[in-house]
Every structure is written in structure tokens, then in C-alpha cells.
Amino acid sequence: MSQDAKEQQIQKISHIFHAYTTSRTLMTAVQLDIFNSISQGNSTVEQVAQNIHATTRGVRMLLDALVALEFLKKKNQIYELTPITATFLVKSSPDYVGAMFEIDDLWNTWSHLNQAIKTGQPPRALEQEEKATEFFPHLIKSLHAMSIGKSNLLADKLLKGKANIPLQVLDIACGSAVWSIPLAEKSDKVIVTAQDFSQVLQSTKTFVERHGVEKQYNYVAGDLKQVDYGENKYDIVILGNIVHSEGEKSSRVLFQKIGKALKPHGRIAIIDMFPNNERSGPPFPLLFALNMLVNTTEGDTYTLEEYCQWLNEANITKVSMEEIAPEFSVIIGEVV
Ligand SMILES: C[S@@+](CC[C@H](N)C(=O)[O-])C[C@H]1O[C@@H](n2cnc3c(N)ncnc32)[C@H](O)[C@@H]1O
């Protein structure tokens, strides 16, 4: 290996080893309300330090690191938000994505990765309703802001040629209902049944109301393992970011229930992270599998081949991966 190639590899390794420093810096800025403080007019180290009740030494180091990471700008010791920070990292912004990092849950569970790999057990299991209802209200706020643009594109795809036809939609483990709201917004013939734990549905309702589509929503509270979805009722079933935390066994049972609940030619849309069939990439779905190891008992990420097999078993036979936008593909299955 040439010296240049060696240097490049060392840089790559060093960069990954140190990635926790950038992650922790941004999380701390969110948790200490740095961006809100600056958006409210505090623009020097002293002002921010006083406003958040912290030391000037710590705040100076944090603000300068955020400048270097391009989350802030600095001129003559006056700090300003960048346009991106103002849009995505100030709490009052409708596009705020920081909610899931206001708490240290994921940071803490990842610090138990060694132990989870040895024991196969997570330090805490998110599928327990009590843990889920603590964590998910934070997560779904971030997911809503991160997914709403993509969801609009998916809704166009699902409604193509069907915008004036009555459609019954079931949004399972709906969270903020981000994957069904655009369907309801784009067609007043869409009626959504949104299902999640009862406590999470309180948050769902605020999102649905914010989008002004509450007349098109019904709610079913409960654990997806226990809820009866009925037979021959739905034109579209949405599974957004839930199969990975349920794991194979529970998801296969769920697919059986969905196969029955769909009408003939009904479709299922699965939004998740999909590794390739070899499980050799892309990185994000494979790192996300580890995220499931430290947060759930059975969770994992699954390939298109696996989904095809499980959906076929449930009578959902026409299955394909559809690229809705670059880096955003959805598995769509149809009861033929
Ligand atoms: C990762 S969030 C996804 C939310 C939404 N579908 C999305 O894609 O943004 C997972 C959601 O599933 C819900 N959930 C997890 N386990 C569940 C279960 N056993 N029964 C019902 N809902 C569950 C959580 O409360 C949470 O709202």
C-alpha cells in the first residue's frame, strides 16, 4: 500500500473513531438550548452562558466547535445561526428535527453495545409499552419533520389514478401519522384508521389536527400484537418504521393479519431501512440493525428477499421495491 493510501485509510479510521465527538457536541447544543438561546438574541459567549446558566469557558468551547461544524457563524465574537440551523434545530421551527436528541436514550443504549453483542439482550427493551410510551413521543416529533417531504412523494405514488375514489387506509404503529396525513390532505375521499399505543395517540391527534385532516381520521388504541384489523377492509395499509423493532416472528404474524385485512388489489407500503440481499451495505440499514440490538429484544433490519417471502406467505404476492426519490425506496405489495 502506498503511503498516500495508508494516510487515507488512517484518516478514515480516525474519523470514525472520533465520530462520537461531533454527535455529542450537537446533542449537547440541543439539550442545553444553545440554538434557541441564540435565536432569542443572545449572541455573545457571556450572554449565552448567562442565559443557559453555564460557564463562559464551556460555552465558548461549545460555540466555537459549532462554528467549525458550520452550525453557527461567528464574526467579531458575535455568534449567529446558519439558515440550516434556524430551520432544523430551533425548537419553535415547524421543521425542528432535534426532539429525539433532547434525551440521552439512544446514546445510553449504544454505550452498552459490547454487552448486547455478548448477551443478545438490550439494556432496555423498547417494545415494552411503558418504555415505548416514554421514548416514542420524542422520536415521532423528529421523524415527522424528517419524513413529511418524502411522505408527500409516496402519497402521490399511492394515489396515482385513485385521487377521486374512496380509500380506506390503515396506518399501523402510526406515530405522528406522517405517512398517512399527506394521503388525507391530497384526497378528501381518504379515510384513515390510525393505530398505536393509547398514550402515543394523544400526540398523533395533535399532528393530525395541525394538518387540518381530523375529520378523515379514526383511532384504534392498543398493541399491534393484539389488535384485530378485521377482514377485507382496507385499500392501503401503511407500516412505517415498525417491522425493524418488532422482529421477524411478530412481523410475520402481523403480515398474516394484514393479508386478511386488505381488500382484493389492496396494497401495503413498508417504509423501513433495507440492506441489500447480501447484507453487505448500505451502511445505514446495517448500523440500524445494531440500533435494534441495543434497543429491542427481537428487532433487526430485513432484505427485500425476506420481505417478499413473508408477504407472499400472507397472500400479498405482487411485491417490489419502488424508488420514490434518491435514497428513498419503499416496499409495495399488492393482493392480486
Ligand atoms: C419508530 S416509530 C414510527 C412511527 C411512524 N410510523 C413513522 O414511521 O414515523 C414506531 C411507532 O410504533 C409504535 N409502536 C411500537 N410498538 C408498538 C406496538 N407493539 N403496538 C402499537 N404500536 C407500537 C410506537 O409507539 C411508535 O409510535
Specify the ligand 1 atom closest to the Cα of 133: 25
Q: Is the pLDDT at 131 greater than 90, yes or no?
A: no
Please say whether the beta carbons of 224 and 254 come within 8 A: yes
Cα 294 to chain center, whole Å?
A: 16
8 Å CB contact between 159 and 187:
yes
Which 3 state secondary structure label does DSSP give 94?
coil
Q: 95 CA distance to ligand 1 centroid (A)? A: 21
Residue 179 CA, ligand 1 centroid: distance in Å: 12
C-alpha cell read off for 91: 425548537
DSSP state of 214: G
Q: What's this model's pTM, rounded to 2 decimal places? A: 0.96
Cell of 63: 460555540
As to burial, measured by CB atoms within 10 angstroms (0-12 exposed, 13-18 middle, 19+ buried), residue 84 is exposed
Q: What share of the chain is helix, strand, coil (3-state, %, to 5)?
A: 50, 15, 30
* pLDDT of res. 258: 98
Does the fold of domain 129-139+148-334 match that of domain 3-102? no
User: CA–CA separation, 60 vs 143, rounded Å?
Assistant: 31
Mutate which of 130, 192, 197 for ligand 1? The one with the most ligand atoms within 8 Å of its CB, which is: 197
ipTM, two decimals? 0.99
The domain 3-102 is classified under which CATH number: 1.20.1050.140, 1.10.3720.10, 3.40.50.2300, 1.10.10.10? 1.10.10.10
Give pLDDT, residue 91: 96
The position carrying cell 421514548 is 135
| Distance (Å, whole) CA 249 – CA 27 | 34
Average pLDDT, the chain: 96
| pLDDT reading at 125 higher than 90 | no
| CB-based contacts of 253, cutoff 8 Å, min separation 6 | 225
244 part of the active site: yes
List ligand 1's pocket residues with C-beta within 6 A: 127, 132, 136, 139-140, 143, 147, 173-176, 178-179, 196-197, 200, 223-225, 240-242, 271
For residues 137 and 127, give the distance between their C-alpha atoms in angstroms, rounded to a whole number: 14
Residue nearest to atom 20 of ligand 1 (CA): 223
d(CA 105, CA 232): 40
Type of residue numbered 129: E
For a pocket test of ligand 1, which of 200, 242, 298 has the largest count of ligand atoms closer than 8 A to its C-beta?
242
Superfamily of domain 129-139+148-334: Vaccinia Virus protein VP39 (3.40.50.150)
The pLDDT tens digits of the residues spanning 148-200 come to 999 999 999 999 999 889 999 999 999 999 999 999 999 999 999 999 999 99
| Domain boundaries along the sequence of the chain | 3-102, 129-139+148-334
